[in-house]
Amino acid sequence: MRPILVINSGSSSLKYQLIDVDSSVALDSGLIERVTDHAAAFGQMLAQLSGPRPLAVGHRVVHGGSLFSAPTLINEEVMSEIENLSALAPLHNPGNAAGIRGAMKVFADLPQVAVFDTAFHQSMPASSYRYAIDAQLEKEFGIRRYGFHGTSYSYVSKKAAEFIGIDSSKLSAIILHLGSGASVCAVKNGKSFDTSMGLTPLQGLVMGSRSGDIDPAIIPYLERVAGMSTNEIDQSLNKNAGLLGMTGESDLRDVESRASNGDQVAIEALAVYSQRIKHYIGAYLAEIGPIDALVFTAGVGENSSGMRAQVLAGLEHLGFNCDKDLNEFRSSQVRSISDSGTQILIVPTNEELEIALQAQSFI
């Protein structure tokens, strides 16, 4: 048995799982909320944690910038870089860093390993990650597409390849990570070739409370006509947009329930949500050519047969033929829902296990 403690620390919460990487089994897990002192939260976690003492601690870190393309053993230099990257992920990296410092106090003798959401996407070519902006601004401020959900894509791409029966280094797929946060990744030869999120997790698909793609000129327009500050607009686009902005509901299940009762606001929001996904599927097919599979994962992708059907409707000419009964069958296993043509897979993600597996090399 080789237990790894996996930490997902936010600004006011601490999620943890103790995972045996030999069996891929979670030995214990928990959530501590209303955290004001991360060191104290780790003390609380220790008091309620059951199971063997971990051999290492793996930390989810949202933004690794261009510096980190692999799991990294944390020292003070790495900590400083993670904290400096908070400018790129102000809603996430500060909480991640606070959790790491808390763990370093409580588990001072254990390897602390950072696993970055952005790392998987460091393989993208310049044609995918560059923005067409002033090159001096681009270079000075590190403005480029970084992408997120990389830990999920790393795990899911390997599971999809295993299901199909090919080596993961040969997989070409379009993976839809659809949850409260949502993104798409074009995987070519097992590596990220393009992804929908950008400099921050705000770009791309319509999400629970994030707008996804918008005309950038909307921001100065709102400053002029609505008198909103940059911070107010940032808050609005991240916290009060997406499904929440369109319907007053951030949970897709609630929007689907309203739509099933004929609510036109909800019906239109679902159409916007699914059309944006179709847009990226078409674009990525054009970019990477024939694929081995179209993959659904994360909360919405794994559990909403209605949204899967809505996304796939009209894509038959591209070779995506969904079997209605297979789509509506509920299972926690990797499975195919296609009746012909390109494989359409549902692959449950497990980011915590992937973090543990990546951290084990430092034991």
Q: Which positions are catalytic? A: 117
Is the distance from CB of 124 to CB of 194 less than 8 angstroms? yes
Is the distance from CB of 359 to CB of 58 less than 8 angstroms? yes
Is the distance from CB of 59 to CB of 361 less than 8 angstroms? no
Who's near 205: CB < 8 A, 6+ residues apart? 178, 182, 183, 184, 196, 212, 213, 273, 276, 277, 280
Measure the CA–CA gap between 136 and 194, rounded to whole angstroms.
23
Is the distance from CB of 6 to CB of 26 less than 8 angstroms? no
- The backbone region for 316, taken as left when phi is positive above 0, alpha when psi lies in -120 to 50, beta otherwise, is alpha
Measure the CA–CA gap between 345 and 164, rounded to whole angstroms.
9
Is the distance from CB of 210 to CB of 234 less than 8 angstroms? no
Measure the CA–CA gap between 27 and 197, rounded to whole angstroms.
33
Measure the CA–CA gap between 50 and 31, rounded to whole angstroms.
14
Measure the CA–CA gap between 348 and 296, rounded to whole angstroms.
8
Query: Is beta strand 25-33 parallel, antiparallel or unpaired with respect to 13-20?
Result: antiparallel
Query: Is beta strand 182-188 parallel, antiparallel or unpaired with respect to 191-195?
Result: antiparallel
Contacts 24+ apart (CB under 8 A), 23-28: 24/353, 26/352, 26/353, 27/3, 27/51, 27/52
